[in-house]
Amino acid sequence: MGSALLSIGTRAMTANYAKLQTISNNISNANVAGYSRQDVMLETNKGHFSGAGFFGKGVNVVTVTRSQDKFLTAEAATTKSAAMMDLTRLSQLQALEKVFPTGEDGVGHAAGQFLNAMVDLASNPQDLSARQVALSRASELSARFANAGLQLDSLQAGVTADLKTSVGTVNEITANIARVNQEIAKVNGLGHSPNDLLDQRDQLVSQLSQFVQVTTLPAEDGTMGVFMAGGQRLVLGNQATPLQIAPDPMDASRSALGIVEAGGGLRMLQADSLTGGSISGLLKFQNQDLVNARTSLGQMAAAFSARVNEQQGLGLDLGNPPGAGVPIFSVGAPTAGPASTNAKDASGNYLAGVSLSVADATQLEASEYELQADPGNAGRFLLTRRSDGMVRSIANGDTVDGITVNVSGTPGANDRFLLQPVTRAANGMKTVLNDPKGIAAASPVAATANASNTGTATVDSLTVVSSSIDAARTATFAFGAANGAGVDYTWSLHDPATGTTTTGTGTWQSGQPIALNGFELELKGVPASGDSFTVAPTQFPAANNGNALALAALRDETMVGRRLDASGQPAGGTTITDAYANTMAGVGVAVQGANASAQISAGVADTLAQRLASTTGVNLDEEAAQLIQFQQSYQAAAKILQVAQQVFDTLLNAAGA
C-alpha cells in the first residue's frame, strides 16, 4: 500500500513539476516575438483492478503542446504582406511628390516666367537686356525639367538598391526556414512536437511575409513548403531557392525580380504576380507611378520645346541680315529598344529593330508602348499603349499619337519592343540658344491698313502659323458689301520673284482670322466697303514684335496632349501650366490614395496580429494564477509522499514487532 502511494505521489509531483516548468517557461517568454504559449497535456494513469474494484494509479505526462491557429497564422502573414506593400509604396510616393513642387519652385511657374519674358521683349524687341532675361528664363526652365528627370533617376536608383537589399534578406530568411525544416524533420519520428522549432519557423515565415506574400504547405515529414507568385517554390524541405534582382528585359534601367533555377538559370517573374510585401510595393511604384511621372514630365518637355522652337522658327532674329529663328530648346530623343529575349543572329545581333520619330509633339501621349508582330495580319504589328492598354494594329511607317514607327527586319512571333517617345525627354532638355540676338522676336510679315479706310476695322494681330509662308509675297484684302453677319472680301497674292498674282474671295466674320500664305490676320472692329489691308514683308525687323507676341501667346495654347477628333484634326489638350498642375495633382491624389490604403491595411494587419496574440500568446494573469494553482498541487503531492513514507514506516515497525 505504501508503495502505491509512493508511486501516485511521485507521478503527481512529476506532473505538477512539469506544469510549473512549462508555466515558468511561458512567463519567461511572454515578451518574445513569435513565442506560442505551451501547455502540458496530462492523462489519468490506467487503474489497477482488485476484488474491491479499480484503484487509480495517478497521472501521466503525455506531451507538451503549443497554442496555435493555422488560419489566424496564415491570415496574419497575408495581411502583414499587404500592409508592407502599401506602406512601401506610400513612402516612395511621398518622395516622388517632392519632384513636383508647388508655387514658384515648380516647372509650371518656370514655363510661365519664360513666356512672360516674351511679353516684356515684345514691348522693346531691340532691348538686349530683355532678350538676355528671356534666355535666362529659358535656361532656368530647361534646368528644372532636367533636374526633375535626375530626381526621378535618383528615385529609380533607390528602388533598385532597396530591391537588392530586400532580396538579400529574403534569401537569408528562406535559407533559415530550410535549416529549421531539416531540424524539425530529424525529430519528427520521436512522437512529440518540437514546439520551439515550430515557433521559430512560423516567426521566419512572418518575417518573410514583410517582403513577399507567401503561401505554405505542410509535408508529412513535418517540414513546410513555402511558395510565392502563384506557386513559385521558395522552400521545399531543406532546400531554399534564391531570388535575384536583374535588369528588366524590356528596359535595362529598371529592375525585375527573378528566381534562380536548379541549373543556375534565372527565370524572370511577372511583377503583377506579386500581390504583397515590400518588394511588390517597390516594383509597383517603379513600373507604374515612376513611369507615369516620367512620361508626364517628358510629354510636357517635348510638347513645350517643340511649340516654342516651331514658333521661333517662324520669326526673324536680330542678326544682320535678319534670319529665321533657330531652336531655343532641345530634348531627349525618343527611344525604342528590343527585349533582351528577342531573336538574334549568330553574331548576337537582333534580327529586327524599331526606330521612332516625332511627327507632332503636341499629340504625344504620357505613355510608353509595346510593339509585337500581329499574329493575325502578316506584315502588321500590334501596338499597345501601356497607360490604358489600348491596342492598335499598325503598318510599318504609320503615325500614331504623334509618333512615327519604323520597323527594320522581320520581328519573330515572340519578339517585343518597348517604345519610349517621351520617357527621357525631360532628362535631355537643354537651352541650345545662347545668343540673345538669336531670339526671333520679329514677324517676317507686317499688316497695315489703308489710310483711306472708313470702317472701324483695325489690325488686332498677325500671326505666322506655318513654315510654308513665303514672306516675300504681298497680300492685299479689299472689302466689299456686308454678307449677313460678315463682310465679303477679295484677296490677291503677288509673287515678286515670278511677277504673278493669284486672287480669291472670302467672307470675313468677327472673331475668325483670315488665313492665307501661312499667316492668320485678325481684325478688330468692322471693315466698311472699300476698305483694304495689306500684308507685306517686314521692312524694319529690329522694331517688329509680331513673333514675340506669338511666343507669349503660347501661354494660353492647349499644346500638351492633343488628340485627333473624328475629322482627323487635333483637338483638346491643355496648356503647359495646366498640364503641370494636372501632373502635380495626379501625384497628390496617388499619395492620398496610398495613404488611405496604408492606414486600412495596417489596421487590418494589427487586428489580425492582436487576434493571433490573444489566441496563441501568453497571458501573464492566467499564468500567474496557474502558477499558484500548481504550486499548491505540487505541495499536496509532496504531502502524499510524506504520508506514504509514514505509512510505509508504520508497516515496517508493525512487521518488525
- What CA–CA distance (Å, rounded) separates 170 from 314? 60
Q: Give the residue with greater pLDDT, 12 vs 49.
A: 12
- What CA–CA distance (Å, rounded) separates 612 from 493? 87
The DSSP-derived string for 130-164 is: HHHHHHHHHHHHHHHHHHHHHHHHHHHHHHHHHHH
CB 537 within 8 A of CB 549: no
| pLDDT in the model for residue 15 | 84
| pLDDT in the model for residue 376 | 85
| pLDDT in the model for residue 3 | 67
Q: What 3-state class would DSSP assign to 482?
A: strand
CB 630 within 8 A of CB 20: yes
Q: Are strands 500-508 and 486-495 parallel, antiparallel or unpaired?
A: antiparallel
Grid cell 506557386 is found at 231
**Side chain identity, residue 159:** V
CB 360 within 8 A of CB 570: yes
pLDDT exceeds 70 at position 438: yes
- What CA–CA distance (Å, rounded) separates 655 from 657? 5
pLDDT exceeds 80 at position 89: yes
C-alpha cell read off for 105: 519652385
Prediction pTM value: 0.88
* Mean per-residue pLDDT, 198-214: 94
pLDDT exceeds 60 at position 657: no
Grid cell 504681298 is found at 474
Degrees to nearest 5, angle at CA 459 with 456 and 462: 160
- What CA–CA distance (Å, rounded) separates 621 from 105? 59
- What CA–CA distance (Å, rounded) separates 563 from 528? 40
* Mean per-residue pLDDT, 284-309: 96
pLDDT tens for 346-400 read 898 999 999 999 999 999 999 999 999 999 898 899 999 999 999 999 999 999 9
**Mean pLDDT score of the chain, rounded to an integer?**
91
Count other C-beta atoms under 10 Å from residue 650's C-beta: 11
| pLDDT in the model for residue 648 | 74
Q: Which helix (H) or strand (E) holds 382?
A: strand 380-385
CB 557 within 8 A of CB 469: no
- What CA–CA distance (Å, rounded) separates 115 from 172? 56
C-alpha cell read off for 586: 495626379
pLDDT exceeds 90 at position 55: no
CB 205 within 8 A of CB 226: yes
In angstroms, the first-to-last Cα distance of the chain is 19
| pLDDT in the model for residue 380 | 93
List the chain domain ranges.
2-67+619-656, 445-537
Grid cell 516622388 is found at 96
pLDDT tens for 103-112 read 899 999 999 9
CB 458 within 8 A of CB 525: yes
Split at pLDDT 50, 70, 90, the class of 570 is confident
Q: What 3-state class would DSSP assign to 350?
A: strand
Q: Are strands 59-66 and 239-240 parallel, antiparallel or unpaired?
A: unpaired
